[in-house]
Structure 1
Amino acid sequence: MSADTETHPLHDVLSRWQAAFDTHQNDAMAGLFTSDALFQGFGPEVLAGRDAVRDYYAAVPEVRRAHIGKVHAYAIGEEVAGGFADVTFKDPDGWAASVHLSLVLQREGGDWLIRQYHVSRVATDH
Protein backbone atom coordinates (compact mmCIF):
# COMPACT_ATOMS: atom_id res chain seq x y z
CA MET A 1 0.00 0.00 0.00
CA SER A 2 1.42 3.37 -0.96
CA ALA A 3 1.28 5.39 2.22
CA ASP A 4 0.57 8.94 1.04
CA THR A 5 -1.89 8.28 -1.78
CA GLU A 6 -5.50 9.43 -1.79
CA THR A 7 -6.50 5.74 -1.55
CA HIS A 8 -4.86 5.32 1.87
CA PRO A 9 -7.54 4.59 4.51
CA LEU A 10 -6.56 7.71 6.45
CA HIS A 11 -8.00 9.92 3.72
CA ASP A 12 -11.37 8.12 3.87
CA VAL A 13 -11.51 8.20 7.67
CA LEU A 14 -10.59 11.92 7.74
CA SER A 15 -13.27 12.67 5.16
CA ARG A 16 -15.93 10.87 7.23
CA TRP A 17 -14.62 12.50 10.42
CA GLN A 18 -14.82 15.98 8.87
CA ALA A 19 -18.35 15.38 7.55
CA ALA A 20 -19.55 14.22 10.99
CA PHE A 21 -17.75 17.08 12.75
CA ASP A 22 -19.00 19.81 10.42
CA THR A 23 -22.62 18.62 10.69
CA HIS A 24 -22.41 17.97 14.43
CA GLN A 25 -23.42 14.29 14.10
CA ASN A 26 -22.11 13.00 17.41
CA ASP A 27 -23.35 9.42 16.99
CA ALA A 28 -21.75 9.19 13.54
CA MET A 29 -18.57 10.65 15.01
CA ALA A 30 -18.48 8.10 17.82
CA GLY A 31 -19.05 5.33 15.27
CA LEU A 32 -15.74 6.21 13.60
CA PHE A 33 -13.86 5.04 16.72
CA THR A 34 -13.13 1.59 18.10
CA SER A 35 -15.11 0.70 21.22
CA ASP A 36 -11.96 1.13 23.36
CA ALA A 37 -10.37 4.05 21.49
CA LEU A 38 -8.03 6.44 23.28
CA PHE A 39 -8.86 10.08 22.64
CA GLN A 40 -6.86 13.21 23.50
CA GLY A 41 -8.66 16.37 22.36
CA PHE A 42 -8.23 19.90 23.68
CA GLY A 43 -9.05 18.83 27.24
CA PRO A 44 -6.45 17.89 29.84
CA GLU A 45 -7.51 14.24 30.17
CA VAL A 46 -7.19 11.25 27.90
CA LEU A 47 -10.65 9.81 27.25
CA ALA A 48 -11.49 6.20 26.40
CA GLY A 49 -14.32 4.65 24.43
CA ARG A 50 -17.10 5.72 22.08
CA ASP A 51 -19.35 7.19 24.78
CA ALA A 52 -16.56 9.54 25.90
CA VAL A 53 -15.92 10.55 22.28
CA ARG A 54 -19.64 11.22 21.75
CA ASP A 55 -19.81 13.35 24.91
CA TYR A 56 -16.69 15.28 23.91
CA TYR A 57 -18.08 16.20 20.51
CA ALA A 58 -21.53 17.01 21.97
CA ALA A 59 -19.81 19.85 23.88
CA VAL A 60 -18.25 21.35 20.71
CA PRO A 61 -20.16 24.44 19.49
CA GLU A 62 -22.36 23.54 16.51
CA VAL A 63 -20.96 26.43 14.43
CA ARG A 64 -17.41 25.07 14.56
CA ARG A 65 -15.95 23.55 11.39
CA ALA A 66 -12.78 21.59 10.57
CA HIS A 67 -10.52 22.38 7.63
CA ILE A 68 -8.07 19.61 6.72
CA GLY A 69 -4.74 20.54 5.17
CA LYS A 70 -1.71 18.41 4.44
CA VAL A 71 -1.95 14.71 5.32
CA HIS A 72 0.97 12.33 6.02
CA ALA A 73 -0.07 8.67 6.07
CA TYR A 74 1.63 5.37 6.84
CA ALA A 75 0.68 1.69 6.96
CA ILE A 76 1.79 -1.09 9.27
CA GLY A 77 0.75 -4.28 7.55
CA GLU A 78 -2.84 -4.87 6.48
CA GLU A 79 -4.63 -4.12 9.76
CA VAL A 80 -3.02 -0.94 11.16
CA ALA A 81 -2.44 2.45 9.58
CA GLY A 82 -2.15 6.02 10.70
CA GLY A 83 -0.69 9.40 10.13
CA PHE A 84 -0.87 13.10 10.77
CA ALA A 85 -3.06 15.85 9.35
CA ASP A 86 -2.85 19.61 9.63
CA VAL A 87 -6.31 20.70 10.79
CA THR A 88 -7.69 24.14 11.55
CA PHE A 89 -10.85 24.40 13.60
CA LYS A 90 -12.80 27.61 12.94
CA ASP A 91 -16.08 29.28 13.76
CA PRO A 92 -17.87 32.27 12.20
CA ASP A 93 -16.91 34.58 15.09
CA GLY A 94 -13.23 34.40 14.16
CA TRP A 95 -12.11 31.79 16.68
CA ALA A 96 -9.52 29.46 15.14
CA ALA A 97 -7.14 26.79 16.38
CA SER A 98 -4.55 25.06 14.21
CA VAL A 99 -3.53 21.57 15.30
CA HIS A 100 -1.59 18.55 14.24
CA LEU A 101 -4.02 15.64 14.37
CA SER A 102 -2.44 12.23 14.88
CA LEU A 103 -4.51 9.11 14.22
CA VAL A 104 -3.87 5.40 14.55
CA LEU A 105 -6.37 3.34 12.57
CA GLN A 106 -7.32 -0.29 13.02
CA ARG A 107 -9.24 -2.41 10.55
CA GLU A 108 -12.29 -4.07 12.12
CA GLY A 109 -14.12 -6.31 9.69
CA GLY A 110 -14.08 -4.40 6.43
CA ASP A 111 -13.96 -0.93 8.00
CA TRP A 112 -11.15 1.28 9.25
CA LEU A 113 -11.78 2.81 12.69
CA ILE A 114 -9.86 5.28 14.82
CA ARG A 115 -7.99 3.46 17.61
CA GLN A 116 -6.07 6.48 18.87
CA TYR A 117 -6.71 10.20 18.37
CA HIS A 118 -4.48 13.02 19.53
CA VAL A 119 -4.43 16.74 18.78
CA SER A 120 -1.50 19.02 19.45
CA ARG A 121 -1.99 22.76 19.07
CA VAL A 122 0.41 24.40 16.69
CA ALA A 123 2.43 27.00 18.55
CA THR A 124 3.77 29.97 16.60
CA ASP A 125 5.98 31.41 19.36
CA HIS A 126 9.00 29.12 19.04
Structure 2
Amino acid sequence: MEDKEILTGVLDRWKDAVDAHEPGRVATYFAGDAVFRGLHPYSVGRAGVAEYYAGQPLGLTAGYSLLETRRLADDLLLGYAHVDFAFPDRPGIPVYLSVLLRRTGDEWLITHYQVTRIEG
Protein backbone atom coordinates (compact mmCIF):
# COMPACT_ATOMS: atom_id res chain seq x y z
CA MET A 1 0.00 0.00 0.00
CA GLU A 2 1.27 3.49 -0.88
CA ASP A 3 2.09 5.99 1.87
CA LYS A 4 -0.62 8.42 0.74
CA GLU A 5 -3.22 5.62 0.84
CA ILE A 6 -2.18 4.67 4.39
CA LEU A 7 -2.41 8.26 5.64
CA THR A 8 -5.69 8.89 3.85
CA GLY A 9 -7.17 5.71 5.31
CA VAL A 10 -6.27 6.69 8.87
CA LEU A 11 -7.36 10.32 8.45
CA ASP A 12 -10.63 9.31 6.78
CA ARG A 13 -11.50 7.11 9.78
CA TRP A 14 -10.45 9.92 12.17
CA LYS A 15 -12.60 12.43 10.25
CA ASP A 16 -15.61 10.10 10.20
CA ALA A 17 -15.44 9.64 14.00
CA VAL A 18 -14.92 13.39 14.60
CA ASP A 19 -17.88 14.26 12.35
CA ALA A 20 -20.06 11.69 14.15
CA HIS A 21 -18.98 13.12 17.56
CA GLU A 22 -17.74 9.72 18.76
CA PRO A 23 -14.73 10.58 20.94
CA GLY A 24 -14.17 6.98 22.04
CA ARG A 25 -13.92 5.86 18.44
CA VAL A 26 -11.59 8.78 17.60
CA ALA A 27 -9.25 7.59 20.36
CA THR A 28 -9.05 4.06 18.92
CA TYR A 29 -7.11 5.44 15.95
CA PHE A 30 -4.33 6.59 18.29
CA ALA A 31 -1.57 4.53 19.88
CA GLY A 32 -1.91 3.89 23.60
CA ASP A 33 1.07 6.18 24.26
CA ALA A 34 0.27 8.81 21.61
CA VAL A 35 1.33 12.40 22.21
CA PHE A 36 -1.69 14.56 21.37
CA ARG A 37 -1.68 18.34 20.94
CA GLY A 38 -4.90 19.92 19.74
CA LEU A 39 -5.60 23.59 20.40
CA HIS A 40 -5.45 23.03 24.17
CA PRO A 41 -2.69 21.65 26.43
CA TYR A 42 -1.26 18.35 25.30
CA SER A 43 -2.00 14.89 26.65
CA VAL A 44 -0.52 11.43 26.34
CA GLY A 45 -2.63 8.37 25.59
CA ARG A 46 -6.09 7.54 24.34
CA ALA A 47 -7.94 8.83 27.40
CA GLY A 48 -6.68 12.36 26.74
CA VAL A 49 -7.69 12.14 23.07
CA ALA A 50 -11.19 10.95 23.99
CA GLU A 51 -11.54 13.70 26.61
CA TYR A 52 -10.45 16.37 24.12
CA TYR A 53 -12.96 15.30 21.48
CA ALA A 54 -15.74 14.79 24.04
CA GLY A 55 -15.34 18.50 24.81
CA GLN A 56 -15.88 19.54 21.20
CA PRO A 57 -19.32 20.92 20.28
CA LEU A 58 -21.90 18.81 18.51
CA GLY A 59 -21.87 19.54 14.81
CA LEU A 60 -18.09 19.99 14.59
CA THR A 61 -16.77 18.56 11.33
CA ALA A 62 -13.28 18.20 9.89
CA GLY A 63 -12.35 18.59 6.25
CA TYR A 64 -8.76 17.90 5.30
CA SER A 65 -6.37 17.86 2.39
CA LEU A 66 -3.14 15.95 2.61
CA LEU A 67 -0.16 18.17 1.74
CA GLU A 68 2.92 15.98 2.29
CA THR A 69 3.94 12.46 3.26
CA ARG A 70 7.31 11.10 4.31
CA ARG A 71 8.26 7.50 5.07
CA LEU A 72 10.67 7.78 7.99
CA ALA A 73 11.12 4.03 8.54
CA ASP A 74 9.35 0.83 7.51
CA ASP A 75 6.90 1.25 10.39
CA LEU A 76 6.85 5.09 10.68
CA LEU A 77 5.02 7.53 8.43
CA LEU A 78 4.77 11.33 8.64
CA GLY A 79 1.79 13.23 7.28
CA TYR A 80 1.17 16.95 6.96
CA ALA A 81 -2.31 18.25 6.15
CA HIS A 82 -4.48 21.32 6.03
CA VAL A 83 -7.63 20.85 8.12
CA ASP A 84 -10.70 23.04 8.35
CA PHE A 85 -12.70 22.44 11.51
CA ALA A 86 -16.24 23.70 10.81
CA PHE A 87 -18.98 24.58 13.29
CA PRO A 88 -22.71 24.94 12.63
CA ASP A 89 -22.99 28.26 14.49
CA ARG A 90 -19.69 30.14 14.15
CA PRO A 91 -16.71 30.59 11.86
CA GLY A 92 -14.46 27.60 11.36
CA ILE A 93 -10.88 27.12 12.45
CA PRO A 94 -8.23 26.38 9.82
CA VAL A 95 -5.17 24.49 11.06
CA TYR A 96 -2.12 22.65 9.85
CA LEU A 97 -1.95 19.10 11.17
CA SER A 98 1.16 16.99 11.55
CA VAL A 99 0.69 13.32 12.34
CA LEU A 100 3.15 10.54 12.86
CA LEU A 101 1.76 7.06 12.21
CA ARG A 102 3.33 3.89 13.57
CA ARG A 103 2.53 0.43 12.26
CA THR A 104 1.79 -2.21 14.84
CA GLY A 105 1.21 -5.53 13.12
CA ASP A 106 -1.17 -4.79 10.25
CA GLU A 107 -2.57 -1.62 11.85
CA TRP A 108 -1.38 1.97 11.48
CA LEU A 109 -2.06 4.20 14.52
CA ILE A 110 -1.44 7.87 15.21
CA THR A 111 1.45 8.12 17.65
CA HIS A 112 1.88 11.91 17.47
CA TYR A 113 -0.73 14.57 16.60
CA GLN A 114 0.04 18.30 16.50
CA VAL A 115 -2.12 21.14 15.18
CA THR A 116 -1.07 24.70 14.48
CA ARG A 117 -3.76 27.32 14.03
CA ILE A 118 -3.51 29.28 10.80
CA GLU A 119 -3.66 32.97 11.68
CA GLY A 120 -4.69 35.66 9.29
Instruction: Give TM-score scaled by structure 2 length.
Output: 0.93
Point out where structure 2 has 5 or more consecutive residues left out of the alignment. none
State the alpha-carbon separation in 2 of the partners of residues 36 and 25 from structure 1. 20
1:97 to 89, 93, 99: 93
State the alpha-carbon separation in 2 of the partners of residues 70 and 34 from structure 1. 21
1:24 to 1, 21, 29: 21
**Which residue of the partner structure matches residue 11 of structure 1?**
8
CA contact (8 A) 2:64 2:84 kept: yes
State the alpha-carbon separation in 2 of the partners of residues 70 and 94 from structure 1. 25
**Which residue of the partner structure matches residue 106 of structure 2?**
110
Displacement of 1:22 in angstroms is 0.3
How many residues were matched structurally? 120
Q: Deviations over 1:69-104 (max 9, x none)?
A: 243111122200011110000111132100000000
88-97 or 50-59: bigger deviation = 88-97
State the alpha-carbon separation in 2 of the partners of residues 112 and 61 from structure 1. 28
**Pair 1:60-2:56 in alignment:** yes
**Which residue of the partner structure matches residue 50 of structure 1?**
46
Alignment partner of 2:97: what SS?
Answer: strand
1:25-40 alignment to 2 at 5 Å? 25-40=22-37
Cα RMSD between the aligned structures?
A: 1.4
Instruction: Give TM-score scaled by structure 1 length.
Output: 0.89
